[in-house]
Structure 1
Amino acid sequence: MSEPRYALYFCPQQSSMLYRFGCRWLGRDVVTGADLEQPDLFAISPERLRSATASPRRYGFHATLKPPFRLADGLGEADLVEAAQRFAGGLTAFEAPPLVLRDLAGFLALQLSEPSVEMEMLAAACVTGLDHFRAPPSAAEIARRRSSGLTPRHEELLARWGYPFVMEAFRFHMTLTERLEEEERALFEEVLDPMVDRFAGEKLTVDSIALYREPAPGQPFMLLTYLPFGGK
């Protein structure tokens, strides 16, 4: 029987414009699991929009803080939820810089308009604070990470934390597309720019994180529970 995987992500509150935008763009509500009708775009066919958002749709609208992991032996989902709630209860809310649309190595994603020490500290705390729940990655998972080419420092991070792009290698991003060729990427940017402009000037309120769950390999991730911060 396949083991589920879990992850700590940032996800905006369901009532926010950002949440509604992200879920509709990707075509899936990460809380309810419902398929959503994606925007009707003059320049991009529904079929192409569907295929260009396939991978981010499976993972759900989010920004990764602690990458997906299986549970260590002897630990269950209820243990993780309880510990994650305690962990989040010790965190303090903050405001991050506004989001902007950027090209991230061929993918389009929302990123912070400028660096945020608070966000970097949050991500590092998520990686370390619940790491005793993480089972070591399999040999296949390690090989897959290495296939993209890792620096010596990335290798150290992979060995210690099970993922190479954490700690100082962390970059906050909310993925919106698969990797696109340059000409098509420009078209997607042209379509996305006015949508992002609706919230691009607003600071990002970070007063909770979320625990996501992948029931089995290849299945869609779902938001299991929001984890509100205790400090204001």
Structure 2
Amino acid sequence: MRAAIYFTPPAGSPLAMTANRWLGRNPFDGEATREPELIRDPLVASPARYGFHATIVAPFALADAVDLAGIDARLSQFCAAQRPFAITARVPERLGAFFALVPDEQSAELSTMEEAAVRAFAPFRAPLSKEAIARRRPDRLTERQRAHLAEWGYPYVFEDFRFHMTLSGALTDEQAEALRPDLDETFAAFDGETLTIDQLAIFVEPEPGAPFRVHSVHRFEAL
């Protein structure tokens, strides 16, 4: 089993429901949200497995003597000390080979929260196996990212963190061009709108390759 700390909007919010319909799966209950679509489904299979989210602490195997109850208690404590804040969403934006929702500009609040979370949950994480490190293709990472991978289990932390909520898998230019009109239409209501960051969730992968499910959600409580 692996756990991850993700931001995701409330299950019943318009953004969550729209994104879940787009991806075809609701990570809160694991159920399909629409009929299968022959063309779209292969292009969104990867984000559909993970569920609509932004990575704050990347998926990790649990360290010895750590269980979900302990992670739950720590995240509850962590979120109780966080103050809600807002970003302006840009969607859909193309990041390299995939589409995502991103902030319109760098957010100091996001960066501060992400760094604090990565440090807070480091003791709960088992060391990466050699196979897991190899899957990250360290030869393609920068020296700093390789150091992050070795120390924190994920290359894109701290200076390399970029908040994004993925809406497609890796696409060719031709696939991206074909998918873009549907993405634009589906997410038009959210582009340029305020997205409140006021909760974090534990997502769980019960076994390798299984779809991630929301285990618990913790609201930010600081005033």
TM-score w.r.t. the length of structure 2 is 0.96
**Structure 2: gaps spanning 5 or more residues:** none
Alpha-carbon contact 1:23-1:29 (below 8 Å) kept: yes
Q: Name the structure 2 match of 1:203.
A: 194
Alpha-carbon contact 2:2-2:205 (below 8 Å) kept: yes
Displacement after TM superposition at 1:150 (Å): 1.0
Residue in structure 1 matching 2:124, options 99, 119, 133: 133
CA-atom RMSD, angstroms? 1.3
Once residues 14 and 148 of structure 1 are traced to their aligned partners in structure 2, the CA distance between those partners, rounded to angstroms, is: 38
Partner amino acid, structure 2, of 1:140 = E
Q: Name the structure 1 match of 2:149.
A: 158
Displacement after TM superposition at 1:105 (Å): 1.2
**1:97 partner SS:** strand
Once residues 2 and 154 of structure 2 are traced to their aligned partners in structure 1, the CA distance between those partners, rounded to angstroms, is: 14
Alpha-carbon contact 2:89-2:101 (below 8 Å) kept: no
Q: Name the structure 2 match of 1:116.
A: 107
Once residues 30 and 223 of structure 1 are traced to their aligned partners in structure 2, the CA distance between those partners, rounded to angstroms, is: 6
Alpha-carbon contact 2:200-2:218 (below 8 Å) kept: yes
Once residues 189 and 131 of structure 2 are traced to their aligned partners in structure 1, the CA distance between those partners, rounded to angstroms, is: 42
State the number of aligned residues.
223
Displacement after TM superposition at 1:38 (Å): 5.5
Q: Name the structure 2 match of 1:19.
A: 16
Residue in structure 2 matching 1:56, options 16, 22, 47: 47
Moved over 3 A (4+): none
Once residues 175 and 130 of structure 2 are traced to their aligned partners in structure 1, the CA distance between those partners, rounded to angstroms, is: 36
Once residues 83 and 7 of structure 2 are traced to their aligned partners in structure 1, the CA distance between those partners, rounded to angstroms, is: 14
Once residues 207 and 32 of structure 1 are traced to their aligned partners in structure 2, the CA distance between those partners, rounded to angstroms, is: 21
Displacement after TM superposition at 1:194 (Å): 2.0
- Aligned-pair identity in percent equals 39
Structure 1 pair 194–215 and aligned structure 2 pair: CA distance change class (3 A):
same
**1:53 partner SS:** helix
Q: Name the structure 1 match of 2:162.
A: 171
Question: Are positions 1:77 and 2:74 aligned together?
Answer: no
Once residues 139 and 52 of structure 2 are traced to their aligned partners in structure 1, the CA distance between those partners, rounded to angstroms, is: 24
Residue in structure 2 matching 1:36, options 33, 38, 43: 33
Q: Name the structure 2 match of 1:227.
A: 218
Residue in structure 2 matching 1:103, options 89, 94, 117: 94
Alpha-carbon contact 1:26-1:57 (below 8 Å) kept: yes
Displacement after TM superposition at 1:147 (Å): 4.9
TM-score w.r.t. the length of structure 1 is 0.92
Residue in structure 2 matching 1:181, options 148, 153, 172: 172
